[in-house]
Amino acid sequence: MMSLKSNNHRALLLTAAAHTVSKYGVDVSVSRIAKAAGVDETTLFKHFVSKEALLNTLYVDIHCDLCSKLRECVVLGEPLLERARAIWNSYIDWGLANPERRGARHRLMVSDILTDHTRKTEALLFPDVGLAEAGSESDVFGDHPPEFGETIFIALADATIDFAGRDPQRADLYKQSGFDAHWRVFFA
């Protein structure tokens, strides 16, 4: 059983990894992550067998947090349009509230560091499988891998988050316009 100190180190390491990956990318050194957490590399390797294990754990941790927020807003019995809007708005709100975790997630998502196990775990966590399937069936994406569609979604969301963050008084207008673009690309 892990001690409280051990759990605190793990949480510190994940927070430091999110910060450093968001800032420097997935090639960030283990020593930089450990230093940002205020621990030595030995402590890092007590919790994670490798940098790759740390970064995969970080990705799942961030994705769990994000999907928890998405799950709070979606009502599976509602029409596709309403579910898509709820997920979109929740995603944008989460991104505005968690800039480092969002940045780390994006950098990890497009890297080669994520394992098949991590990708499978990611897919299982999304709260609305029907919405994901409907979006992936768009003629725009054809036979492309699912990561391509997810990357397009992220680009639309990032633009929306960036503009909403710069001009909070118009955030709702940016969220609506971003959603309209998202709907047209993925569902219309």
Confidence of residue 140 (pLDDT cuts 50, 70, 90): confident
Q: What pLDDT is attached to residue 6?
A: 64
Q: What pLDDT is attached to residue 2?
A: 41
Higher per-residue pLDDT: 39 or 144: 39
Confidence of residue 1 (pLDDT cuts 50, 70, 90): very low
Confidence of residue 101 (pLDDT cuts 50, 70, 90): very high
Q: What pLDDT is attached to residue 105?
A: 95
Helices marked H in 26-50: 30-37, 41-47
Average pLDDT, the chain: 91
Domain positions in the chain are 52-186
CATH code of the domain made up of 52-186: 1.10.357.10
Residue 114, CA distances (Å) to 12, 44, 68, 76, 167 in order = 21, 19, 21, 29, 34
Cβ-contact 90, 73 below 8 angstroms: yes
Cβ-contact 76, 128 below 8 angstroms: yes
Q: What pLDDT is attached to residue 148?
A: 84
Q: What pLDDT is attached to residue 5?
A: 61
Distance CA 71, CA 136 (A): 19
The predicted model scores a pTM of: 0.89
Distance CA 153, CA 1 (A): 40
Across 86-102, average pLDDT:
97
Assess whether pLDDT exceeds 90 at residue 9: no
